[in-house]
Structures are given as C-alpha cells and as structure tokens.
Amino acid sequence: MAEPSAFSQSDTSATWPKGGIHDSKRPPLPTSFHSEKRSGHHARSDDTTGSSNIPSSNLTSSNLTTRSDFPSSMLTDELPHLCSWKSSTSSTDGASGDVNTGTYTRVSLKVKAFSRLGEMVHCSGSSFVMGHFNPNESMTLVTTPEDYPYWTTVKPMILPRGVPHQYMYALFSGGVFSSWEQIACERVLIPEGREMLVVEEYGQFDRDMELVPTGERTERSLVYERRKLEQPMATRLRDSTKEKDNDAAAAAEDAGAAWTEKETRAADVAASVVDDEDQADSTKSPCSGSVTSSPGQRFRQKDKMQSRYKRYMPSNYRPSPDAVLFLVCYHLPVKLTKSIESGSWSATWNRDSLISRSENSIAESMNTTWVGCVTYHARSDQEELSADDKSEITAILAKMNCIPVFIDRELAANHHGGYCKNKLWPMFHNVDILDIYYAIWDRAEVIEWKEERNNGEWWDAYQTVNGLLANRVSEMCKENDTVWVHDYHLLLFPSYLANTCRRENRKRPKMVFFLHVPFPTSEVFRELSHGTQLLEGVLDVDIVGFHSFDHARHFLNACKRFLGLSYQSRRGGNLGVDYCGRNVIITISHVGIETTLIREMIGNPDVQEAARKLREKHAGKLLIAGVDVCQRLSGIPLKMLAFEQFFSNCPTWKDKLVFVERANLTQSRPGDQSYSSNEIRKLVDRITKAHGSGCIDYEETSTPFTLEERVALWLASDILMVTSIREGLNLKPLEFVFAKGVEPTNRPGVVILSEFSACCCVLNGAVRVNPWNITGLVNSLDHALTMSDEERLGRRARDLPYITSQPAANWTKQVLSVLHEATDNPEGDEEYTNMEYTDMEIGRSHVLRIGDRSDFKQLNIDKVMTAYMQSNRRVFLLDYGGTIIARENIAMFIKKDFTAVTSKRPSPRMMEALTNLTSDPRNTVFVVSGVSKLNLTASLGHIHGLGLASDNGALYSWARSVNIDNPEDSNMQDASSPSGRHWHEQRFKFDWAAVREVVDPILKVYCTRTNGSVLRHTEQSIAWNFRSTDPEWGLLQANSLQNDLEEVIRDLPVTIIRKKGLLEIVPEGFNKGVVARQILTQDASISHGHPDFLFCIGDDTTDESMFKAIYDYYAERTEDSIHGHPGSSYEDFLVTGDEGPLHHVFTCTVGKKPSNAHLYVNNVGEVEQLLQALGKASGEVRNT
C-alpha cells in the first residue's frame, strides 16, 4: 500500500484499549521477526570460532539501585493503570511509535558475557545508531575488573520512542570482528519512557523471551531484562491471529486485556511470520538449531572485518634498456618531399602528429621505432613510387628509426579511401549505413558503393594492409618489446601479430591499441558485416585505450552484446574485459598538446606578424575563429546559421564582429567534401548579402592548416567556436586556450565547444553547446561576447593547469605505465570488482535497505507542526544546496566556481519562509553549507536573523542580532555588507605536508585518467571534483579512488568525505557535525538552556554527520535541563508529558535514500512547503 503523503492530514489517533502493557492474560510483545522477511538486515556468520559459551543464569542486581517503593506486585497491579493513563495523553508523546513525533528514549545496554583474553563485546543493529548490522560501525561495549562479566555501552543511544529496533551482539578479537552471538533470531527492543537500561546475556535469546521491567532502577533509568515465557511464542501468535478476526471489544472483554497500538503492529508482523513458517519445512525454521543462510546472514558474513588487499599505485614507467617500443600507424608521422631540381628525397617530422618524435617524447628515454605505410601520395605528381624511390625513402627513414611498408595505388585506394574512409569512418562516428547510402551525392559513387558491397574489395584490402604491417613488425619485435597500434585503420593488426607469434611458437610482445575516433553504439556497430572480427582483432592486446569514457562504454557494450564478454572495474581506476583467459585493460586518457612547440610558435616573429596582419584586416572588431575539415560532421553550416540568426537578432554587432572560418579540403571523402563546400558557400553568400561582406572571412585550403598558421589565428582571435556533430580527437581548443593564456597579461579567450567533441570532457572552462540547438548556440555566442574578464580568467584558470601538465609525452608514459602495471605485476594480487556500484552519496562498506526500516518514514507536516506549536524554543539546522535551493547543474556549478557568485538564489517563497522563521524570537535558524562564505553571504546574508555556516562549518556567523565571543576560535568581521557579520573560524591546526606526500600522486593519476576532474588544495581540505566528468565514469573512478586513498591514509589523522560530485580529504573531526555541536552548545549558553524542539535537514553525505552529531551530543549530555529530572516513582519513568526541555528531535533527509535521519521529504519543494507552514504559524502567533 502506498505511503501517505507527508503533507496530508494526520491520521486519526488510535483509541487506546484498556489493559496493561504487561498483562499476563494477553500475548506479550513479540521480540523477533523472521530473518528472511527482512532481507535488508545483515545476517550473522555461520563461523562460530571465537564465540563464548556463556552459562545460563539469573541476572543479579547487586550493582543496581533498588527502590523499596517498587514492589514486585507492580508488574501486575500498577502497569495496567499506568498504561491506561498513558493512553489518554496526546499522540505527540511518542507512545504510538511514530518517528514523526520526534520523541526519543535514551537506551543503555548491559550484557553479561564471559570473554576470552583480548576479546571485546560489540553491538550492532538496524538503527544507524547501532551501525546497521555492519561490524565496522558497531558500538563498543566496555567493562572494568569490578563490573566484569558485565559489559555496558559507553553512552546511551538516542532511539525513536515506540519504534522496534533489531540488534545483536558480536565478539571482536584484537580489534577485528570475530563472530556474531549464536542466537536464532535478532533481539528486538521497543524504547519506551525517557530512559531505559536493558540487561541481558550474550548468546541467550530466542523468540520466547520477552523484555520486561524488573522493578529496579538506576539513577535515571528503568531496568529491563529478558525473561523466558511459559507459553511458546508460536502458539501465542497463532492465537493472536485468530483473535484479530473477532470483535475488538468482545475480545478484550473475554481476554481481560488488550494490546497497545505498538504491540499490535509488532504482533501483526510476527503473526505473519508464523503463517509462513507453517508452510515451510520444519527443518528449515530460522529458530531451529540449524539456521539457514538468509540474505541477511550472507550480508553479515560478507561484512566481516577483514584486511583489504594490499594496494599499490601504478609505478613510473621504466622501460627495459634492451626493449623496443614499436609505434604502428597507417600514416608514418613524417613528411616526405622530393626535390624538383635534384630529384632526391628528404623527410621531416610531422609536428601535427601526436606520435611524432619531439622534445621530451618517449623516444628520448626509450628505443623507439615507427612503422607505417608509404603510398603514392608521397609524390607530388601522384605517380607510383619506383624501386629507386622506395630504396631511397627506406634509407632516409631508417635514420629516423622509421620502417616504411609500401603499398600500391589500388590497395591504398581500397583500404584507406574505401573501407576506412567510406565505411569505418562514418560508422564509427555513428552514421547509420542507411544514412551513408542516402548521403552519397554523386551517382558514380552510388554505383561504386554498391559494387563494393557485392565483391568485398574494400574488406580484402583492409585485411591485406593489416597483414602486411603485422608481418613487418613480427620480423623485428621480441618478447620483451612493446607494440603500440594506433587508430581504426589497423583494427585487425593485433590479432594478426598474435597469430603469427603463435604459429612461430613464441610469446607475443606486449601490445596497446588506442582509438582516436569515437566508437559507435552497438546498434550502428552491428551493421558492420565483419564487426565481430574487428572486435576480436582489437582484443588480442593488453591495453585498449580511448580518449573518452563515452567511446569506451560503447566498446564495452559491443563486447558484451556480440562476444558475450564481461567487464569489471580494476584497481587504479581502469576497466577490464575477460577475453580468452586474459583480462584486457580498458583505459581512458585524453592526449594533450605539445606546449613547448606552441611556446616556440608564439615567440616566432613570422607568427606574430601573421597575427598582426589578421588583426589589421579586421581592425576594431572581435574575431571568432573556426578551423575545421570541410565535411558534414564538422557542423560548419550550423555555425553559419547561428551567426545569421545572431546578426538578425543583434544588428548592432554587424560592425563589431567577424567570423574567421578556415575549411580544410582533405580529399579523403570527395563527395562529402564537395557537397559541404557548396552548402557552406551558399550560406556565406546569403549572410554577407544580408549583413555585409565584412561579417564573415571564409577560406578553403587544400593543405592542412599548419601549427604556425593556427597559432597566428589563435593569437588574433577572441573566441574559438567548434560545432562538430560527431568528433573524435580534436586538440585545437586546447591549443587556443594555451595560446591565449601563456602570457598572464593577455586577455583570456573563450571556447564555445560542441558537447559532441571528445575534448569537451577535459575542457571544463569551455561554454558547452548543442550545435543542433541554434537558439542555444546564439545565446552562448552572446554570453561569450559579453563575458566579463573575471569569468574569462576563471575559465582559463580551470583549464590551463591541465593543459600545461598533460603534454603528449606524458600521455604516452601514462598509458605505458598502465601497461607496465598490468603485465609486470609479480605479486599477481590484482583486484577486480563488479561494474555495479552503490549510491555515491552513501559509503561502500555496506548497502542500507530503506524499505524495511521501521525508524525511517516520510515526514508528516501535521505532526511536526503540532510539536512546533507546543514548543517554547526551537533550533533549526538547514543544509543549503539540495535542501533550500535545488542542486545546480554542471553549467551553473562552473559559473559559480569561476565568478565566486552563483546566479541562482532560493525561491521567493523560501526566502519568505526563512524570514518568517527567523523573525520569531523563539527560533534559532542556521544554514550550514559546504559553499564558500562569499557565495552563502551573497545568497542569504541579507536575512538578519539567519545564522550562516560555510565551508562545511569551517566558518560560521550567528544572526546579526546575536553577539557571541568564543575564545576557542578566531573572530573576524566581514565588511562586505553595510552592517557586517561577525564570522568565527574553527581552528584546525593541521600540517598538510605529510598528507599531500602520500595522496597527491594518487590524486594526480586519477585526474589524468578521469577526463574533466579537478584537483584542488585549500586550507581545510584536499578535494577531487568530478562533477564535470561523465556521470557513470566519474562515479566508478570516485569509488576506486576512495578505496585507494583509504589504504594509504589509514595511519594519518584525516578522513574522506563524499559529496555529490566531490571527494574530499579533511582532518579527522572536521565536518558539519562539529559546527552543529558548536551551535547547540553556544545556543544553550546564550539562552541559558536547551531547546525543546530541534529540526535538522539535509540532502547528502555531509549532512549525515550533523544527524549523528545531534544524537551523540544529547546522548553524552546528562543535564536535567535537557532530559528532565530523575523520577521518584515508576510512573515518572514512563510518563512523557513532564519531560525535560528537549522533547522533540527531528532529523530529515531530502529524497528517499539510505540515511542516518529518521524522516524524509521527496524534494526541495516539500522543504519549502514545510518551512512556509512553520514560518506562517509563527507569524500568526505573533499577531494574536
């Protein structure tokens, strides 16, 4: 049945039946539930080693305070009267067992356990206070020589009153979990009254034992113990089920007793268990001697405290001195030139190739050989290469450690011009075969394409070229060498080389394959008739690399769908695919640019002169640059349409702006190129006729735009615009950012970048656009043109550190380091985990099941309102993002991060609610946030009665009407507002040097492997931000990173905090819980007492520390001013109407998810509705 809305009217209060809660004439409260009914509970291990056999004996009370005014007859004579009185009180007293009332009981445990030397007793249960049956979070019990064998909780537990809690005891040996107590069912405790002391025996419990008062008491608590009941539980439960079918009043009269509402609920659950047991085989009963393995039991067994596998970071790549790295590609990274005068050949490195030899490249530290094809394109006259040409070229390239493989015109045309460019290239860019067919513009091409489909010449050529290169490398490579294969032209090369080595009965070399174009979705890839062979060809390597996780995800899906392969997450943040008994690593690493070369170009006088001339050509105008291949997927027409609409909407920009577009005619896809060129020229003519010839500067070049020409364009331009529809590797945006930022005094440029480009995942400072959304593109253009220098600087600061620290040489070494880790791990202790991951905002040690929690309910506004109106003084602790303001998307987060002022504010209704709440002098309201002081003050600082805590509590400011001086922290005044706020700074004297020495190498590796992630160091923390990464990949990497960090910081005084999109290392004890305790302490000092109403709400893991801190705070405090005076009679311990000031404690999370809170609301809108109602109620009271 669906749960009622939190904002519906309250349920009608149940009528309290006559009778007592311990009347011997009615079935007692059941104390356990069937373990298989609660799959979310964590079952104990079947391993009983280390458990103690404790003899059964009656508990003594020599160490308890005994009162003469508690006669033994009290259990039968007085309790019915007490319960009858209790039932007449308000429903807000918590007797009904509803967490919405906010009432609680302080519960202490005392267990008799004969432990061995070195053993400790722990307790864990269903409540978060008890650790959710997770031994890692269990409570430690203590003893003394005088008290032994009795073990007690260090401090009371704060548990919701009237709500059943399951728990068990466990033994720890040497600080490590040993075993759960051997009992058939979990213990059950239903808190009642103000305080309870539960006394029981370790290992002594079954479903026929009931928790009853002994008539004894300590200074503040009633004492309860477990007692064996004469009537078997199963019989009583069957009887209770039958009785429920009769009239309630008649049944009460016949039985002479009735149950309270909470007992009826518990009995209903247990009765249903009995019905299930009747249908099950008696030998499989959970209460029999042999306990079956339920899901809960398996969970507990999995969660035993065991030492984790030893982890190590990927080592720096140190190649063997006699090893050779073979870089294999279709196009050798050289430029061959034949002199017209002499007829001799010369060769130079192609600086635009990311695998060419350059300063600090891998070739400087490792013996490197390049292997690739040379075709007729080497000759300017496009004639076939003669034998003399081939001989001379081979000799020249040998000096450069390059090995050419010569292929003739027809083979090159079918391989590169046919299968690669007309089939693989469009399909790998997710162009469907049907789309390719209808996108062929020349009739001759249609005929050629259909003929190829029939005779398969392209596929034969593709196999031949891959085989030629594989045979050539096979002749040279040795076992300890490394072969790195590049791009989609050579997908079959790895399998061909591996097969050759197998035929020759020798071990193949280590191999890497890196794809520089996108990988298609499985729906497109399945249209490739030889797709399975291509996948198998790639998987014969050790490492498969991609620039983007999106590309890797499609590859993994293809492996799973077409080859039935599974994949896992590996240590260090990589993925692994099981293939032919090997685990092939999938790594994601975006290549960088050679910043040294660009620095040289910037200082080149010719480049400076070219930039100056371009500026003079368009003097007085802002330049928007574009450099693209002339093809449909480059999206150049979409740029033109956006400019046309922009000039129509903003005609004043016509004389202030010019679009400089350079289109490269590569001739690799002539039909596509011709059609695109005609379309672009028509658009240019249309725009220039309508808006003037000076608004567009369009040129087409038959040769690629050189690095010198590009840098000159970058220096002259203000904005770079990339609107590709599909795109793989594109380093031009990185070049532009670096060229505009190499001199700090230069005005930063702005990149408008298509979200379909691979480099979009690494440029967090770019203005991201969907090129199909022309209106959005126009708005982004307007934003870029009017962007403040402050935001420009912020965007540049976001990207420049990554660009300068990740040159192509480093990228090569990083990939080889992954290869080294995968193939040279002598320990063989690699760890694999399932790709399935748990909620990123709740830890990974265990999964909390929220469906079975009796102490976690949807907030009911009427019941909270009743408690609010009955209270005299209240404290509110409110989170900011995700609670009083909706979570910001990536773009808004970036804007906030650059300008330090977010444009988003709480809604007017939320502002009104906060103002109303803070206007009530009985209310203390604090917003506790992780955002900066400047952000928080800009949003909420104008509300004078509102307290603020920023940076997760590192800084906090009381309402302006409150003056407080805390000698334990520093006090500073913010003069940014007219009246100013007094801010207090939590003093955390911490030396980060030792921590950074350990964690920085790990964090930097994850930054390089997780495109879009950012590493930041502050005075309070070290943060790894992954909000701008691919959501799935970022989450997987965050889980892996947290595992790695937890291993190395184990002996350091720091802890890890997970937030939405952020993993933060902070000093131990530094969290929102610290400032929450500080606020409560100072509030009690200011008001000379504690509140009687406390409400705390938040939406992520940082707020969980506030929930826990609140309950820990009040569990540790024993003042009468909080919990009331100790009672002088038994009635005083059960009566809830005369409690101390702190009567209602509410902890609430936003969103139904695992949490330490007891209540939840669904969204920010419901938070707003709640605060609006409470604030309005305060206003109405003030006006009466």
Domains of the chain, first to last: 35-60+88-302 (2.60.40.10), 324-588 (3.40.50.2000), 595-805 (3.40.50.2000), 857-988+1070-1183 (3.40.50.1000), 993-1067 (3.30.70)
Number of Cβ within 10 Å of residue 440's Cβ equals: 18
CA distances from 646 to 83, 769, 884, 960, 1129 (A): 77, 15, 37, 48, 82
Q: Given this model, what pLDDT does residue 911 score?
A: 92
Q: What is the pLDDT of residues 732-776, one digit of tens each?
A: 999 999 999 887 778 889 999 998 888 888 888 899 999 999 999
Strands 543-546 and 582-588, bridge-based pairing: parallel
| Widest CA span in the chain | 122
CA pair distance 424, 866, nearest whole angstrom = 68
Q: Given this model, what pLDDT does residue 171 score?
A: 94
CA pair distance 169, 113, nearest whole angstrom = 10
CA pair distance 999, 1015, nearest whole angstrom = 11
Q: Given this model, what pLDDT does residue 919 score?
A: 92
The model's pTM is 0.62
The helix or strand, by DSSP H or E, that contains position 970, with its residue range, turns out to be: strand 970-974
Listed as own residue / partner, the contacts of 67-76 with beta carbons closer than 8 Å and 24 or more positions apart are 67/215, 67/216, 67/217, 69/1129, 70/215, 70/216, 70/217, 70/1130, 71/215, 72/215, 74/215, 74/1130, 75/22, 75/212, 75/213, 75/215, 76/20, 76/22, 76/23, 76/24
Q: Given this model, what pLDDT does residue 1183 score?
A: 63
CA pair distance 778, 648, nearest whole angstrom = 11
CB 927 within 8 A of CB 880: yes
CB 813 within 8 A of CB 1004: no
CB 100 within 8 A of CB 860: yes
Number of Cβ within 10 Å of residue 886's Cβ equals: 15
Kindly state the tokens that stand for 1028.
Answer: 């701008």
Q: Given this model, what pLDDT does residue 1112 score?
A: 84
CA distances from 650 to 48, 300, 602, 644 (A): 79, 66, 34, 10
Q: Given this model, what pLDDT does residue 322 score?
A: 79
CB 821 within 8 A of CB 573: no
Q: Prior bond to 232 cis, omega within 30?
A: no
* Three-class SS state of 856: coil
Q: What single letter denotes the amino acid at residue 400? A: M
CA pair distance 404, 393, nearest whole angstrom = 8
Q: Given this model, what pLDDT does residue 1042 score?
A: 86
CA pair distance 1144, 871, nearest whole angstrom = 8
Residues of the chain short of pLDDT 50, as ranges, are 1-95, 233-234, 236-238, 240-315, 441, 454, 826-849, 889-903, 967, 971, 974-979, 1128, 1135-1139
CA pair distance 61, 224, nearest whole angstrom = 11
Kindly state the tokens that stand for 968.
Answer: 């334990």
Q: Given this model, what pLDDT does residue 572 score?
A: 66
Kindly state the tokens that stand for 62.
Answer: 């020599």
